[in-house]
């Protein structure tokens, strides 16, 4: 089982904070959650999946984040905290450099930084991301373009759902997956 884009981003955030000396995990709950997310934690993942009964809330949340299918309150809380970090423009640009254009990052860039990226100095990393995003939106289906423009306008999942008369979160997820595939194809698997 591979790690979802959300799980990769959360694990990347954790490693980045740990390398900067901002984290010292003494919490068993956090250790269990991160163990389930760890790309090298496959042995423990197999063990966790075999013992489906008796898993802790943190282990369940970790497995949900790993799969990208969030059901528990803890996994949703962790997702909200991680996505909130994307409001920092420097972090978002750095994440794209390290992780590529994942659906989670594309969503954060469109919703939080599109206009900042547009006004960044020509040739800067931020402006190149703006060009990549604009190009991907131009190549996308009409449904995805509408979702992208609504995110850029600052609408959230509930508002998008109301406007489009559908499940906003699901529509956003599909649109961000499409944009991510286009960006991946345009960049041949890498940035620029």
Query: Over 60: is that where the pLDDT of 78 sits?
Result: yes
Average pLDDT on 116-135 reads: 95
Q: Are residues 127 and 52 in the same domain?
A: no
- Do the Cβ atoms of 84 and 23 come closer than 8 Å? no
| Residue (of 120, 111, 109, 112) closest to 183 by Cα position | 109
Q: Are residues 71 and 126 in the same domain?
A: no
Q: What is the per-residue pLDDT for 55? A: 83
Contacts with 73 (C-beta within 8 Å, 6 or more apart), sequence order: none
Residues 95 and 14 in one domain: no
Domains of the chain: total? 2
Whether residues 76 and 159 share a domain: the answer is no
Q: Write out the residue range of the structural domain in which residue 77 sits.
A: 5-85
Q: Does 48 score more than 60 pLDDT?
A: no
Helical (H) or strand (E) element with 35? helix 28-37
Considering the domain boundaries, does residue 174 fall inside one? yes
Do 139 and 182 contact (CB within 8 A), yes or no? yes
Examine the pLDDT at 44 and tell me if it is beyond 80.
no
Q: What is the pLDDT of residue 30?
A: 81
Does 117 lie in the same domain as 58?
A: no
* CA 121 to the chain's CA centroid: 26
CA torsion through residues 13, 18, 20, 23, sign: positive
- Banded model confidence at residue 36, pLDDT cuts 50, 70, 90: confident
Same structural domain, 103 and 179: yes
Claim to verify: residue 11 and residue 74 sit in the same structural domain: yes
Is residue 52 in a domain?
yes
CA separation for the pair 188, 192 (Å, rounded)? 9
Number of Cα atoms under 13 Å in the Cβ half of residue 134: 11
Q: Which of 63, 85, 107 is the last residue of a domain?
A: 85
Residue 170 predicted with pLDDT over 90: yes
Are 166 and 98 in the same domain? yes
Say whether both 149 and 100 belong to one domain.
yes
Q: Which residues does 69 contact at the CB level (< 8 Å), separation at least 6?
A: none
Instruction: Examine the domain organization and report whether 171 and 107 are in the same domain.
Output: yes
């Amino acid at each position: 089982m591979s790690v979802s884009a959300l799980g990769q981003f959360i694990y990347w955030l954790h490693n980045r904070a740990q390398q900067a000396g901002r984290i010292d995990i003494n919490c068993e709950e956090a250790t269990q959650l991160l163990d389930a997310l760890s790309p090298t934690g496959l042995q423990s993942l197999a063990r966790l999946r075999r013992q489906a009964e008796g898993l802790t809330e943190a282990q369940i949340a970790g497995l949900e984040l790993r799969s990208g299918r969030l059901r528990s309150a803890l996994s949703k809380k962790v997702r909200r905290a991680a996505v909130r970090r994307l409001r920092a423009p420097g972090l978002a640009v750095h994440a794209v450099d390290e992780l590529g254009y994942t659906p989670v990052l594309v969503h954060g860039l469109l919703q939080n930084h599109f206009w900042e990226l547009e006004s960044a100095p020509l040739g800067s990393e931020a402006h190149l991301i703006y060009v990549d995003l604009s190009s991907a939106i131009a190549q996308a289906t009409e449904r995805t373009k509408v979702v992208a423009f609504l995110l850029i306008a600052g609408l959230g999942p509930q508002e998008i759902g109301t406007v489009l008369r559908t499940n906003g979160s699901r529509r956003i997820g599909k649109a961000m997956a499409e944009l991510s595939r286009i960006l991946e194809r345009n960049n041949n698997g890498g940035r620029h």
